Structure 1
Amino acid sequence: MPTLADLPIPLDLPPMEAKLVEEVPREAGWRFEPKWDGFRCVAFRARDEVALRAKSGKPLDRFFPDVVDALKALPVDRFVVDGELTIDVGGRLSFEALQMRLHPAESRVRKLAAEQPAALTLFDCLLDAKGHSLIDAPLSRRRSELEALFKRLEGAAVMRLSPYTEDRDQACRWLDEAGFVLDGVVAKRTDGPYAPGERAMLKIKKIRTADCVVGGFRYQQGTEQVGSLLLGLYGDDGKLHHVGFTSTISNAERPELTSRLEALKGEGFSGDAPGGPSRWSTERTGAWVALKPELVVEVRYDQVTGGRFRHGTRLVRWRPDKAPRQCTFEQIRPPA
């Protein structure tokens, strides 16, 4: 009876990665796929053994017992697939729900798995039906094997098949949904092999802008000059809520900006504020200075999750022409 150790694809195989580019490729020979807003995952099965591996190589099994159990129950007892773990909440993919799974208590993970089960969206196949490696096979063949495997899974709810297109216009339409429904678009060479650990794919993200109130700032570590601005938006409750930060401040402007900010020390955020419970590693702790809500900046962002910017934003410009109260959540809410 074959085990995971007998598979020709090792568990520590680094997944193929993507290089960020500014636009969807125009030349022929590319296939395009949606970039799903989830956790990258290579899933292995050999009879009664299942393993889930993150992009970092770390096991994901204990955080997604629902997926492990579902894969063990599938009518195909040997496969290696590359995909994205996602959780649907209210008809939308929720990255926040995925993050909540990374909890040390098994009982908590099991409870979340029962309430909001995860799914694995497939976009590559690394093992054919005979158990042979597809690492060196072109994408066109790997996709055929993936579709054949998906057909054998008999509509299992845990598995979803990611669409693809060779139509650049369709890829651009997918890109228009990025930042809300999707995380962007991925381009792959139709004749390209699976390149473990290499940035052999291209990823394109939709960059958006929003006007935000500067509700506070943090000093740069080890200095008395500003390091980052804390951003806020007004909610339907009329309160200013913390939504993220920007640290793209040049050294030349720090002294003058620090003086300007220190002169505005005041009440700060009236709603959600920095320093409270957070799953955002860049903003968990640290002293910050509250400011009167008078300054407005325009920032660029690529993703919103749970009413907050997923990553640090980029400062575009100051907006002295904009009233702070005009900076509302309406700017970053997903379309209906």
Structure 2
Amino acid sequence: MAESLPPALHPPVAVALAKLIKAFPGPNALPGGLNAEPKFDGFRTTAFNDAGKVTLWSRQGKELTRILPDAAAALAEQVPPGVVLDGETIIWNRDRLDFDALQQRMVTSKAALPALAKELPASFVAFDVLAVAGQDTRGVPFPGRRQLLEELARDWAAPLHLSPITRDMDLAKTWLRDLPATGIEGLMFKGSQPYEAARIWLKLKHKDIWDVVCAAVIGSVTHHRRPAHRRQTEDCRPLDRRVHEGRA
């Protein structure tokens, strides 16, 4: 008989969140030290396999199964019943994450969705596990949950993926520097805490610093032939106008 989920893990389930930080954290910023993972630009998605039936849910509690049929099918094929995964649904377009392609699915008709999914298929990247074999694992400290997740993911094939993780903060800094070229937003940091629906993690977003030259005429009209100029450095952060249901 297929494993069912305990009542406390019937969807939707509140998920763990992260506190935004402005600088790379120190080694004691979280209990048990730091584990760093890439922060993917996609839909935060919780995947439930309840007695063989797979459903996908957003962080806000909206069901996403209809718009992510390819990810749901892969999870049904490769993840055993009684498992709940926390992760990110993403779409790769050439060598870069394409968040707009995910958004497009939310406004695409049921009839047109299969063609869209075939053109730009979705992938699911798992970074935590809330249940295994029908047993709630949220009370297990993060290192134990990560071990369970790695065992589940041992034989996975695309489009299912295990999120990379490191305790080497020098390596994490290279990720923060290099991976944004692929659409990665920054880094997530996790300690050894159990899983709970609170801001128990830390989030550091990548930002670009540009030197810009701003020129303008100042002073009275009589001095317009000798305008002053000023050079300044701006912290250029991208303006994100994308408000949607699944964003982490």
State the TM-score bracket (shorter-chain normalisation): 0.7 to 0.9
Residues 253-298 of structure 1 show CA distances to partners (whole Å, capped at 9, x for unaligned) of xxxxxxxxxxxxxxxxxxxxxxxxxxxxxxxxxxxxxxxxxxx997
Return the match for 1:40 from 11, 33, 44.
Answer: 44
Alpha carbons 2:70, 2:117 under 8 Å: kept: yes
Alpha carbons 1:67, 1:158 under 8 Å: kept: yes
Aligned to 1:165: 166
How far apart are 1:90 and its partner, in Å? 0.6
1:105–1:88 Cα change, 3 Å: same
Aligned to 1:279: none
CA RMSD of aligned residues (A): 2.6
How far apart are 1:98 and its partner, in Å? 1.1
Aligned to 1:236: none
**Pairing of 1:89-238 with structure 2 (within 5 A):** 89-128=93-132, 130-151=133-154, 154-177=155-178, 179-181=180-182, 182-189=184-191, 191-196=192-197, 198-210=198-210
Q: For 1:112, give the aligned amino acid.
A: L
Return the match for 2:74 from 64, 70, 73.
Answer: 70
Q: Distance in 2 between matches of 1:302 and 1:35?
A: 17
How far apart are 1:180 and its partner, in Å? 3.2
Q: Distance in 2 between matches of 1:131 and 1:48?
A: 11
Higher relative contact order, chain-length normalized (CA < 8 Å, sep 6+): 2
Is there any run of 5+ residues in structure 1 with no aligned partner, and where? 215-295, 304-308, 313-336
Q: Distance in 1 between matches of 2:237 and 2:166?
A: 23
How far apart are 1:177 and its partner, in Å? 2.9
Q: Distance in 2 between matches of 1:27 and 1:212?
A: 34
How far apart are 1:89 and its partner, in Å? 0.8
Residues 151-171 of structure 1 show CA distances to partners (whole Å, capped at 9, x for unaligned) of 1xx232121011111111111
Residues 182-213 of structure 1 show CA distances to partners (whole Å, capped at 9, x for unaligned) of 11001111x211111x1110000122245799
Q: Distance in 2 between matches of 1:70 and 1:141?
A: 25
How far apart are 1:23 and its partner, in Å? 1.7
1:25–1:211 Cα change, 3 Å: closer
Is there any run of 5+ residues in structure 2 with no aligned partner, and where? 215-230, 243-248
Q: For 2:142, give the aligned amino acid.
A: L
Alpha carbons 1:43, 1:51 under 8 Å: kept: yes
- TM-score, length basis structure 2: 0.80
Q: Distance in 2 between matches of 1:170 and 1:89?
A: 26
How far apart are 1:137 and its partner, in Å? 0.8
Q: For 1:27, give the aligned amino acid.
A: P
Alpha carbons 1:33, 1:185 under 8 Å: kept: yes
Identity %: 33
For the pair 1:56 / 2:57, whether they are aligned, the reply is no
Return the match for 1:310 from 240, 244, 248.
Answer: 240
1:302–1:193 Cα change, 3 Å: farther
1:117–1:23 Cα change, 3 Å: same
Alpha carbons 1:4, 1:49 under 8 Å: kept: no
Alpha carbons 1:47, 1:72 under 8 Å: kept: no
Alpha carbons 2:82, 2:135 under 8 Å: kept: no
SS in structure 1 of the partner of residue 126 of structure 2:
strand
Q: For 2:73, give the aligned amino acid.
A: D
1:302–1:63 Cα change, 3 Å: farther
Q: Distance in 1 between matches of 2:69 and 2:195?
A: 28
Task: Name whichever of 202-211 and 179-188 sits farther off.
Answer: 202-211
Q: For 2:177, give the aligned amino acid.
A: D
Q: Distance in 2 between matches of 1:136 and 1:174?
A: 30
Residues 229-248 of structure 1 show CA distances to partners (whole Å, capped at 9, x for unaligned) of xxxxxxxxxxxxxxxxxxxx
Alpha carbons 1:4, 1:44 under 8 Å: kept: no
How far apart are 1:44 and its partner, in Å? 0.4
